[in-house]
């Protein structure tokens, strides 16, 4: 019963071959079997999922109209709020915290009869590229458990890859959906900034974060986006741009696709990834698309700009977790100062503390202009350069990651090497453009290789349609 898309589920359901309750039972059994090793789920909402499944089955039985996502069993990353359920951002500082409201995305999915089956492990406060930074243990890659699934949405991706659910939601600040999707052979979609409401998402970098779907198929990714997207009065940064029929994916051709000169034969790229990249370019040309090599001088500046700006925003966003307002409070605290100091020191993990310290440094009075202001200026240059490419091209094609999934501990003692895992994904977050990673090949060890398309703002529909030309199902 390992379905790969919602259409398959609904066909079987409408034919009377399965009930939604049986489907949920199947996923619950799979979770109980696989999760002890993979560690993708922090909590499974068994009772809620079964009750919702029975409700959907009863709707059908009584002739009532069911939602467009009936049969979509979906997991949510542990930084997305769901009323009455715990949300911790995989951090000790928020352990056992119960959300008092639901995020807009969760509310919209449930309204269309999606079933939320549980919350998934992630790098603490979405800070990481390997899912080794969770306070509740690392997530393992279902394809090879000796390797990382990618991060920070590693739990969401691993849950889908291991067929513990049909789809999942992640958050993408610098590639946290697309990078793990590439490592695990799935579709990972980061929408245009503002396309999807951030209300109910625990913030890391507010001007970078976007919620997006992780699926086996482009159609499912598009449909989930279609239902989540649109203006939200609870999020001032959400866009009122019209929502297209993203779930209807038809192959297109005859487009202009830019490849970056600096990426071709880049020594940082694993040979098997470079081979897959060139094969993808050749395939696109053979199908009638025009490939143009363009000059982009800012590749080496993307990761530094990203980390200066996101850590600055993180140091501000995470200041609320102080042992007083809410969250973990140290038992060793004796006064106001020790409450702040000990609660935050004990509650936050090493990587989160590193980024808070870096963010506080770049925002300090003596260094604000030298780092934060300069990074904002470079961000503007990157945005202008990217928009200029889109004046003459419909899409930009780059590898999703420099290499395939690496082994646990391989990069954990070298933060800079780990940060460079985001080399090709951060551009879309810096500029706010939409981007999607799709599986295209495997390396000699059988590990998935992902390719990434980036498109002009609010061009998700055409981007998904072009992605269907390169995705290796």
Could you check whether the bond before residue 48 is cis, i.e. omega within 30 degrees of 0?
no
d(CA 82, CA 420): 33
CA nearest 79: which of 317, 408, 420, 415?
A: 317
Identified catalytic residue from 91, 99, 152, 412: 152
Max CA pair span of the chain? 70
Cβ proximity of 454 and 435 under 8 Å: yes
* 176 in catalytic set: yes
* 77 in catalytic set: yes
* 152 in catalytic set: yes
* Assigned token pair, 217: 């198929």
Identified catalytic residue from 103, 107, 134, 176: 176
Cβ proximity of 407 and 445 under 8 Å: no
d(CA 447, CA 216): 16
C-alpha atoms less than 13 angstroms from C-alpha of 13 in its C-beta half-sphere:
26
With vertex at residue 77, the alpha carbon angle to CA 140 and CA 436, rounded to the nearest 5 degrees, is 85
Identified catalytic residue from 77, 140, 255, 342: 77
d(CA 387, CA 395): 11
- In 229-373, which residue ranges form alpha helices assigned H by DSSP? 271-286, 299-317, 336-347, 350-363
List, by residue number, the catalytic residues: 77, 152, 176
């Amino acid at each position: 019963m390992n379905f790969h898309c919602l259409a398959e589920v609904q066909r079987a359901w409408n034919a009377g071959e399965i009930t939604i309750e049986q489907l949920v039972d199947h996923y619950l059994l799979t979770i109980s079997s696989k999760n002890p090793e993979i560690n993708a789920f922090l909590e499974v909402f068994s009772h809620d999922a079964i009750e919702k499944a029975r409700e959907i089955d009863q709707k059908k039985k009584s002739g009532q109209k069911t939602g467009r996502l009936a049969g979509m069993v979906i997991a949510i990353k542990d930084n997305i709020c769901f009323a009455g359920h715990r949300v911790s951002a995989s951090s000790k500082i928020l352990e056992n915290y119960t959300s008092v409201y639901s995020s807009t995305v969760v509310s919209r999915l449930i309204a269309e009869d999606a079933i939320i089956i549980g919350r998934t492990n992630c790098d603490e406060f979405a800070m990481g590229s390997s899912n080794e930074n969770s306070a509740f243990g690392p997530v393992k890659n279902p394809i090879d458990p000796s390797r990382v699934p990618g991060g920070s949405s590693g739990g969401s991706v691993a849950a889908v890859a291991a067929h513990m659910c049909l789809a999942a939601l992640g958050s993408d600040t610098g590639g946290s959906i697309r990078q793990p999707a590439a490592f695990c052979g799935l579709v990972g979609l980061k929408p245009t900034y503002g396309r999807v409401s951030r209300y109910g998402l625990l913030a890391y970098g507010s001007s970078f974060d976007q919620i997006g779907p992780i699926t086996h198929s482009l159609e499912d990714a598009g449909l989930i986006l279609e239902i989540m997207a649109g203006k939200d009065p609870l999020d001032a940064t959400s866009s009122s741009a019209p929502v297209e029929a993203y779930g209807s994916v038809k192959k297109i051709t005859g487009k202009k696709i830019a490849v970056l000169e600096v990426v071709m034969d880049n020594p940082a790229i694993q040979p098997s990834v470079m081979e897959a990249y060139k094969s993808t370019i050749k395939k696109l040309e053979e199908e009638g698309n025009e490939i143009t090599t363009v000059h982009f001088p800012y590749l080496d500046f993307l990761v530094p700009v990203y980390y200066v700006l996101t850590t600055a925003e993180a140091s501000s966003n995470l200041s609320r977790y102080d042992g007083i307002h809410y969250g973990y409070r140290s038992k060793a605290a004796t006064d106001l100062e020790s409450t702040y100091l000990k609660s935050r020191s004990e509650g936050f993990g090493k990587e989160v503390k590193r980024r808070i310290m870096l963010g506080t440094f770049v925002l300090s009075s003596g260094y604000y202009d030298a780092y934060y202001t300069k990074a904002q200026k470079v961000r503007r240059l990157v945005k202008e350069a990217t928009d200029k490419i889109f004046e003459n091209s419909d899409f930009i094609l780059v590898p999703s990651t420099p290499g395939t999934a690496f082994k646990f501990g391989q990069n954990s003692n070298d933060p800079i090497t780990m940060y460079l895992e985001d080399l090709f994904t951060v551009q879309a977050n810096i500029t706010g453009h939409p981007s999607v990673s799709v599986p295209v090949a495997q390396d000699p060890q059988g590990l998935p290789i992902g390719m990434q398309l980036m498109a002009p703002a609010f061009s998700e529909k055409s981007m998904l349609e072009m992605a269907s030309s390169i995705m290796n199902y």
